[in-house]
């Protein structure tokens, strides 16, 4: 037989008669022990089953109270405490050990009063770093056929609406402002999606316009190198140009200033002129730096370079105030 030990703590002495009456009405078929302490009564007995109906009867006897197993949400007066315990040694009528023997405690505490949720009708939406402002406008309304009062969602999300002249969605009268607010957020998503699409198009055009001159400078520089047109090569270079060659991230050569760079391109070991470079389609813009890939089938004059069907290098070009201040050739 499965025995359940039930312990009830009554923390207000004035409640003991109510609990006793419930136990008597429930016809507990075992002795019930009542022990009085200074601050509470302890009731305990053993039953052949769990006596779950006691929970319902006790909570009904104390309106405004409810049983919970969770006391994490702040400190509240525990008016009644009921514990159930079953030994792991208990066996079923078939002689088998019971699964998951009971060991739980419930606390009768005041029901939580849910505070009404307050909300701001102004919704902020980030499009990248740019903040957009939307409004969920709600006005009082009435159903003329039933005289039911409620709230209407206004068909205006870009600005704060005038409640006297605003157009509203006639499909539903909402019982609370919060219901209308949630519905407004749902409708707002479609508007935001359209605005974001337009925003991306504008940013794309701005990016194209912003990159137009830097792309032109880089293309003209590569073209001038291919033609070895020295004047055109130098025209967009800063007097303080830094030119560097890296192989597998290790520095192979560096020049400082325009004069040293001129000497480099006039040398027999230069690697960027008369090589018929083709700019690959992928350009990367990172603040002041432009990174491009160049491809050619023309090798350098260096004898130690492996013979290949094509050669690819990467150029990192830094532009400041319309002038190239740094070129890093990587391969």
Among the listed residues 261, 183, 182, the one whose alpha carbon sits nearest the alpha carbon of residue 225: 261
Residue 301's pLDDT is 56
Residue 158's pLDDT is 92
Residue 318 near residue 287, CB atoms below 8 Å: no
At 6, the pLDDT band (50, 70, 90 cuts) reads very high
Q: Read off the pLDDT of residues 78-136 as tens digits, 9 standing for 90 and up.
A: 999 999 998 877 766 676 777 778 889 999 998 876 667 788 999 999 999 999 999 99
Number of H helices, E strands in the chain: 5, 16
Sorted by where each begins, the domain ranges of the chain are: 4-110, 122-202, 228-330
Q: Read off the pLDDT of residues 242-285 as tens digits, 9 standing for 90 and up.
A: 999 998 889 999 999 999 999 999 998 888 899 889 998 889 99
Q: Read off the pLDDT of residues 209-230 as tens digits, 9 standing for 90 and up.
A: 999 999 999 999 999 999 999 9
Residue 1's pLDDT is 62
CA–CA distances in Å: residue 93 to residues 1, 2, 88, 97, 102: 6, 8, 15, 10, 17
Mean pLDDT of 131-148: 90
Residue 240's pLDDT is 94
Exposure class string for 101-113: b at 16+ Cβ within 10 A, else e: ebeeebbbbeeee
4-110 is classed CATH 3.30.70: yes
Residue 310's pLDDT is 65
Cβ count near 65 (within 10 Å): 19
Mean pLDDT of 148-177: 89
Exposure class string for 20-44: b at 16+ Cβ within 10 A, else e: eebbeeeebeeeeeeeeeeebbebe
Instruction: Give the residue with greater pLDDT, 62 vs 2.
Output: 62
Residue 306 has pLDDT above 70, yes or no: no
| Percentage of the chain exceeding pLDDT 90 | 57
Q: Which CATH architecture has domain 228-330?
A: Roll (3.10)
Cβ count near 92 (within 10 Å): 11
**Same fold for the pair 4-110 and 228-330:** no
Q: Which residues contact 146 (CB under 8 A, 6 or more apart)?
A: none
Residue 303's pLDDT is 41
At 49, the pLDDT band (50, 70, 90 cuts) reads confident
Has this prediction a pTM greater than 0.85? no
């Amino acid at each position: 037989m499965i025995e359940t030990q039930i312990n009830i703590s009554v923390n207000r002495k004035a409640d003991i008669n109510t609990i006793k009456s419930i136990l008597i009405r429930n016809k507990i078929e075992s002795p019930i022990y009542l022990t009085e302490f200074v601050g509470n009564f302890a009731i305990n007995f053993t039953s052949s089953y769990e006596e779950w109906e006691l929970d319902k009867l006790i909570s009904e006897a104390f309106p405004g109270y409810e049983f919970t197993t969770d006391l994490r949400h702040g400190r509240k007066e525990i008016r009644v405490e009921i514990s159930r315990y079953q030994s792991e040694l208990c066996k079923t009528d078939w002689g088998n050990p019971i699964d998951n023997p009971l060991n739980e405690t419930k606390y009768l505490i005041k029901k939580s009063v849910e505070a009404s949720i307050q909300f701001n009708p102004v919704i902020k939406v980030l499009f990248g770093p740019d903040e957009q402002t939307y409004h969920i406008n709600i006005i009082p309304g009435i159903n003329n056929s039933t005289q039911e009062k409620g709230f209407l969602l206004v068909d205006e999300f870009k600005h704060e609406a005038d409640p006297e002249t605003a157009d509203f969605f006639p499909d539903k009268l909402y019982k609370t402002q919060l219901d209308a607010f949630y519905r407004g957020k749902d409708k707002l998503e479609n508007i935001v999606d359209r605005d974001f699409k337009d925003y991306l198009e504008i940013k794309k055009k701005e990016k194209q316009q912003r990159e137009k001159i830097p792309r032109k400078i880089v293309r003209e520089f590569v073209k001038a190198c291919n033609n070895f047109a020295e004047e055109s090569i130098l025209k967009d270079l800063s007097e303080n140009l830094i030119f560097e060659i890296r192989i597998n991230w290790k520095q192979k050569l560096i020049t400082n200033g325009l004069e040293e760079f001129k000497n480099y391109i006039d040398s027999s070991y230069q690697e960027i002129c008369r090589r018929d470079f083709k700019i690959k389609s992928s350009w990367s813009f990172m603040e002041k730096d432009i990174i491009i890939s160049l491809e050619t089938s023309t090798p350098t004059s260096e004898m130690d370079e492996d013979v290949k069907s094509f050669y690819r290098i990467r150029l990192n070009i830094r532009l400041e105030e319309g002038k190239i201040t740094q070129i890093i050739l990587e391969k």
